[in-house]
Structure 1
Amino acid sequence: MTGERASKEEIKEAAARPDVVFLDVRTEPEIAENPLTSRPFVAVECNVTDSSILEAKIDTVLTDKDAPIVIFCRSGRRAETAIEVLKQRGFTHTYNGGGVSDLETNLRST
């Protein structure tokens, strides 16, 4: 399932696990406008056409390459880009959490 869009059930399972990292790849203004409030998260910006910020910071922000990581953004597209970057860096369990609104809904229903 690594890299594919996580199902509602998978999001619920992930939310129950303390070892799962939620990674927000939106911009700071996007996060300020609509933050994920139901779960702590790590934020590192990633753009579909420019992943340099994520590439520069990811190895210091996330050190356990075997930890499950649910990546989300506004719609899920940037999460796909971030997943590719993480795969190239050796991260083995990455899941596309989709857009923040859907993710928030799924997390609140747990």
Structure 2
Amino acid sequence: MRLLPLALTIICTILFQPTALASERAEQGWQLIEQGAMIVDVRTPQEFSDGHLDNAVNYPLSELDKHFANVNKDTQIVLYCRSGARSGKAYQHLKSRGFTNLHNAGGLAEMQEAK
């Protein structure tokens, strides 16, 4: 009976890994991109120059307000970064500014694996 809790923990860890959710968000990001969504990389310019998704624009997290000043708030926007953390912050920030069609697609490698 002592092994049952351990076995359940291992099974749950395997079945509910964060990467499973991450793949879903990346796949949904690609669907939106195929429908014409704006692709925004919120990493630093140096990270962006090391590699990025085709047709992505580099709007670093620290400069969002500057870059989004003239973007329609109903524009479909797919956000990504290195891991999904900064794009999550960008999502929350833009949502608080009235943007309505946002999606956090996670990290660059995650996006590349999902394609």
- Shorter-chain TM range is 0.7 to 0.9
Between structures 1 and 2, the one with greater helix share: 2
Q: Which has the higher contact order (CA 8 A, sep 6+)?
A: 1
Report sequence identity in percent: 31
CA pair 12-44 structure 1, distance change in 2 beyond 3 A: closer
Q: How many residues align?
A: 93
Structure 2 alignment gaps of length 5 or more: 1-21
Provide the residue aligned with 2:6 in structure 1: none
Instruction: Give 1:19-58 correspondences, 5 Å limit.
Output: 20-36=37-53, 39-46=54-61, 51=62, 53-58=63-68
Would the alpha carbon gap of residues 30 and 9 (structure 1) be closer, same or farther in structure 2, given more than 3 Å must change? Answer: closer
TM-score (norm 2): 0.71
TM-score (norm 1): 0.74
Bigger CA radius of gyration: 2
Structure 1 consecutive aligned stretches of length 4 or more whose deviation exceeds 6 Å: none
Cα distance, 1:8–1:83 mapped onto 2, change above 3 Å? closer
Q: CA RMSD in A?
A: 1.7
Query: What does residue 83 of structure 1 align with?
Result: 91
Aligned partner of residue 94 in structure 2, secondary structure: helix
Paired residue secondary structure (1:96) = strand
Q: 1:89: Cα distance to partner?
A: 1.4
CA contact (8 A) 1:55 1:85 kept: no
| Structure 1 counterpart of 2:13 | none
Q: Is the 8 A contact 2:42 2:81 kept in 1?
A: yes
Q: CA deviation at 1:84?
A: 1.3
